[in-house]
Amino acid sequence: MYYKIGERIEEFTPKSFDKLDFQYIAVISSEEWIKNNKKFSMGIEWDINLDEITDTHAEVNIDSLTGTFSIPSRKNISGPKHNFAFALDEKGVVFVDDEGFALKIIDKISKSKKYINPCLERFLYDFLESIIHRDYKIIERYDARLDQIEKDVLNEDSTGSIRELTDIRSELRDLRIHYAQLMDLSQELEENENDYFKEDNERYFHLVFQRVQSLHEMASSLSDYTAHIRDLNQAQIDLKQNKIMTILTVVTSIFMPLTLITGWYGMNFVHMPELAQPAAYPIVIGVCIFIAVACLVFFKKKKWL
């Protein structure tokens, strides 16, 4: 697919890319790139393998700027990514995409955007913006979910929530890496080392950088929030364990003197005068009850119970 960058993004059929009087967008497969890359006159021999793409970045060449995109799916952040590559110069940009992800973005832009000053820089701004345009809502959903998980932790109902917290932490980490890479890409475009872009239009890339930076900071903040919730959950677990240990200590403290008494009178020596006294048994029972009650009152005053 080939598009003309004009008042709107419109399809066209090129005869030669050398004689165009407008900037263009091309979306082709990796196989087509291998066969026809010379017709774009970018002066590069680029054997791109889309299966080996692992990140989003840009590289400056003598006659062009090349790079790759590795975009996490917004439906499954930690799942398979949308991988494609690009090459651009002052005449236009070529996307090498076997999946059709870039084509979907361009089709959306062509239907929704109308340019007063058509240029490659503005299209690239819209393209990058389309990648992140829903991310503020995604971040808000993460924030709301983490708030609920924190409430579950405080209400001691966090068994399933903590497992979900681990998944959220992993997804936020993937988003932070993605945003950091987009920030580097935006800066590379803004530096305009090969002077492909008009100086007045470099601001578009700075706007993208600022928005991605804001998302990166929000994702980092939420990632720190997950660490806080995890620590809070551990504190709740420790508190429960302390309560259990306190109860065990209290029970042990109560039964220690009772165990001593029963052990003492369980020796059954012949010369134990108490054994011959009819009132000895109820007296021992009364002493045991008194000791138990006295211990409970003492522990209550000390707020150990």
Check residue 50 and give its pLDDT: 82
Query: Which of 83, 175, 180, 193 is CA-nearest to residue 136?
Result: 175
Say if residue 160's pLDDT is above 70.
Answer: no
Say if residue 216's pLDDT is above 70.
Answer: yes
CB 37 within 8 A of CB 44: yes
**What mean pLDDT value characterizes the chain?**
85
Interval 126-144: pLDDT, tens: 999 999 988 999 999 999 9
Say if residue 303's pLDDT is above 70.
Answer: yes
For the residues 52-62, what does the mean pLDDT come to?
85
> Where do the domains of the chain lie, and which CATH numbers do they carry?
1-132 (3.30.460), 245-301 (1.20.58.340)
| pLDDT band for position 221 (cuts 50, 70, 90) | very high
Beta pairing partners, 83: 70
Check residue 305 and give its pLDDT: 67
Q: Which two tokens stand for residue 280?
A: 């000895």
Flag the least confident range among 39-48, 86-95, 162-171, 295-304.
39-48
Interval 230-278: pLDDT, tens: 888 777 777 777 788 878 888 888 888 888 888 877 777 777 777 777 8
Query: Which of 31, 52, 126, 48 is CA-nearest to residue 85?
Result: 48
* Model pTM above 0.85: no
Say if residue 99's pLDDT is above 80.
Answer: yes
Check residue 296 and give its pLDDT: 84
Give the helix ranges, DSSP H, for 58-132.
Answer: 101-112, 120-132
Q: What percent of the chain has pLDDT over 70?
A: 97
Say if residue 45's pLDDT is above 80.
Answer: no
Say if residue 159's pLDDT is above 80.
Answer: no
Flag the least confident range among 52-61, 74-83, 126-135, 296-305.
296-305
Interval 274-291: pLDDT, tens: 777 788 788 888 888 888
Check residue 158 and give its pLDDT: 65
Sorted by sequence, the CB contacts under 8 Å of residue 240 that are 6+ apart come out as: 156
CB 20 within 8 A of CB 91: yes
For the residues 41-55, what does the mean pLDDT come to?
78
Say if residue 152's pLDDT is above 90.
Answer: no
Residue 278 backbone dihedrals phi, psi, to 5 degrees: -60, -30
Say if residue 215's pLDDT is above 90.
Answer: yes
Check residue 137 and give its pLDDT: 93
Length of the chain: 305
| pLDDT band for position 88 (cuts 50, 70, 90) | confident
Say if residue 93's pLDDT is above 90.
Answer: no
User: Of 163 and 275, which is predicted with more confidence?
Assistant: 163
